[in-house]
Homo-oligomer: A and B are copies of this chain.
Amino acid sequence: MDLFEAIHTQRAIRRLKPDPIPDSVIRQLLEAAICAPSGGNRQGWVFIVIRDPDVKARLAELYREGFQELLKIPYYRDAGSAPPDSAAGKMLASAHHLAEHLQEAPILILACLKTEGTTPGITMGSSIYPAVQNILLAARGLGIGSTLTTIHRFRDGQVKELLGVPAGVETAALIPLGYPFGKFGRPPRKPVSEVTYFDRWGRPPPW
């Protein structure tokens, strides 16, 4: 698949078939992940591939608890009262479906980051989310649906306990993966011209 086709049609796919993903394909996803950059090339990433049905089921319970917490946040509460056929309404319906069916995804990947020695804050994410994005793009290239979620963080302590994640490690993203019921396609986004400045905040592009 062409690089730009993959980039332009990688969108959140939250309705996933339970069909298994072969080991060789899982490896391709992870081989893509580790090519990403990380601060000082530290490679503090750890990927936990979860496919044990009991572990998935327990994680899904915690995820659903987290989803209820998420819905209390004004941004998502507002989305809940948006028309069902609006972009926000569709996103929420799809997110709700995922929460109900998370355990049916053939695999979940929990992307973790060993954070000792790195500066707390947003830039910590620069050492793990590029790898996560490589997983999403590789999945797109292999015809596998995925979405980047962080909802498990509402139950972070219990998730870490369930999976034995030690202290000094952040759980950055939980990525459900499976062959899609839905279709890949252009994701709904604001145009570049609305989010780009030149040389100074507020100065529009010259084109």
Residues of chain B contacted by A31 (CB below 8 angstroms): 8, 192
- A195 with B8: CB separation less than 8 A: no
Check: A93 CB closer than 8 A to any chain B CB: no
Contact of A30 among B28, B192, B199 (CB under 8 A): B192
Report the copy number of this chain in the oligomer. 2
Chain B CB within 10 Å, residue with most, of A136, A150, A188: A150
CA distance A74 to B200 in the complex (A): 34
Complex Cα–Cα for A194 and B50 (A):
17
| Cβ-defined contact, B141 with A4, below 8 A | yes
Q: Tell me whether A113 and B117 are in contact (CB under 8 A).
A: no
Bound CA–CA A39/B37 (angstroms): 21
Interface size class, chain A: 35 or more
Q: Identify which of B46, B122, B189, B200 contacts A55 (C-beta below 8 A).
A: B200
Task: Say yes or no for A202: interface residue by CB 8 A criterion.
Answer: yes
**Closest-CB distance, A97 to chain B (whole angstroms):** 16
Least Cβ distance of A153 to chain B in Å? Answer: 6
Kindly list 16 other residue pairs between chains A and B, CB separation below 8 angstroms, not including A40-B76, A48-B200. A10-B35, A12-B37, A31-B192, A34-B189, A37-B148, A40-B75, A40-B79, A40-B91, A46-B195, A46-B201, A48-B201, A123-B153, A125-B128, A125-B129, A129-B130, A137-B137
